[in-house]
Each structure stands twice: as structure tokens, then as C-alpha cells.
Amino acid sequence: MRSVFRFEDGTAILDTDTDSCLYASRRGLDPAHRQGIDVYMHLTKGGKRVFYKYGWSLYENVEDYIQVISEEKAREILESKLPWMSKEDIEVVRQVFQDFGVETA
């Protein structure tokens, strides 16, 4: 899915086919996996990181959407998904958030 995002410094084309997917919800026929939210990061030509969530559904008459979110919100969503992430998934997220998944006292 693609969407144009305009911000102070310019425009970015957010594209779930080319941007970095930080978390992809499971998809399947089980009702628990028929809709979900994926988290992506787009890197602008100027080096700015734009985080967004992609809401998708396998149900008819439910529109997919892209919504730009703050870095803090992206991290919050990713941390809520930590129990379901594989070690490989966590390593992908750590390329963006170095301390991701590290418990602090």
C-alpha cells in the first residue's frame, strides 16, 4: 500500500512494499489473524525517519490504511508485541532502537 505524507520539510511516499517493516502481524484464516497492525519505518532522502502503522484486514468492506505515528508510539506498539516476536524480529527492531527488548531495573 502506498500513501503520500506531507510534512514541514517536504513530502514522502510511504510504501509498505519498499519501506522497512519493523513488525508484521500474523495473517491467516483464524479469526484472531484476520486483521492487524504492522509497523514500518520510511527513511526520507534527507535522512529523517518517518514511522507509520499499516492497518490491514482480510474482511470484506474493511479498508486498509496508513497512519503516521511518532517514534515513541512506534516503540510503544513494538514493545507491546515483544512476547510474540522471534529473535530475528527483535534484531530487526534493534537496528532502529538499540536497547529494544532489554529490561531495565
pLDDT at 27: 78
- As a whole number, the mean pLDDT across the chain is 87
Residue 9's contacts (CB-CB under 8 Å, 6 or more residues apart) are 44, 46, 48
Distance of CA 63 to the CA centre of its chain: 17
pLDDT of residue 101 exceeding 70: no
Instruction: Of 7-11, 28-32, 36-40, 82-86, give the range with the top mean pLDDT.
Output: 36-40
Alpha helices in the chain (DSSP H): 71-81, 87-94
**Greater model confidence, 98 or 39:** 39
Answer yes or no: are the C-beta atoms of 42 and 61 closer than 8 Å. Answer: no
Q: What is the DSSP letter of 27?
A: -
Could you read off the pLDDT of 40-77 as tens digits, one per residue?
A: 999 998 888 999 999 999 888 999 999 999 999 999 99
What pTM did the predictor assign? 0.84
